[in-house]
Amino acid sequence: MNFWDMLLESTRQDFLAQAVERRYKTGKVIINEGDRAGWVLVLTVGRAKVVTSAGGGHDVVLGVREPGDIIGEMAAVDGNPRSASVIAVEDVTALWLPAQRFARLMREPDVSSALLKIISGRLRTANVRRAEYGDRTTFVRLASLLNEIVLRYGVRTRDGVLITLRISQQDLAGLISASREAVARALRELREDGVLTTGRQRMIVHRPEVLEEIVNASASA
């Protein structure tokens, strides 16, 4: 459940009354890592990726935020620089709220409870991924991630499951802590086996059951 869905209706109305609607085009940097801007956003339309610099000019994707998710809340609360950048992967519409107003809203029990659940959920997800990916090959880690993406962002079409999330090979590499070259090789193998086809930030999975079989086989090995 996302941040917005966890709020009481009265709190949502209070948030809406104080917030300003903002729009960001695909590819727009919404938050810059290291900035000290004091505000939060709640996405209402579109998706954004959270990335951090890993050195060598490469970014690591930490996650994807969807409508109803809140971003920028940590820096708004503690006043520290932004710990990651946020980039729109689709056209995004969001509710913008200054940190001072957000701090007042945090006095509401449902807001503080929602934030605690979100933070613990993100930590749990990070720990699970570290455990899952620790001793797996890039091929299996990619298959596991693609299987998750199919379930969350896939749309059934005549040709297979269309991935509606715009995501690049570098994004995939960041999400599974692998090199772009290794991901490219794994994708090529999946294409050659007829599991999927790829285009420019577009993917159709023709045989999603194969991804699940790869994951299950690895888990039982």
Which sequence spans correspond to the domains of the chain? 3-132, 134-220
Architecture in CATH of 3-132:
Sandwich (2.60)
pLDDT digits (tens, 9 = 90+) for 62-76: 889 999 999 998 887
Q: How confident is the model at residue 43 (pLDDT cuts 50, 70, 90)?
A: very high
| Nearest-angstrom CA–CA distance, 117 and 109 | 12
Is the pLDDT higher at 84 or at 124?
84
Report the predicted TM-score, pTM, of the whole model to 2 decimal places.
Answer: 0.74
Question: Is CATH 1.10.10.10 the classification given to domain 134-220?
Answer: yes
pLDDT digits (tens, 9 = 90+) for 155-208: 899 999 998 777 888 888 888 878 889 999 999 999 999 999 998 767 999 999
Closest to 59 in 3D by CA, of 78, 76, 81, 84: 84
pLDDT above 70 as % of the chain: 90
Q: 203 and 171 in contact (C-beta within 8 Å)?
A: no
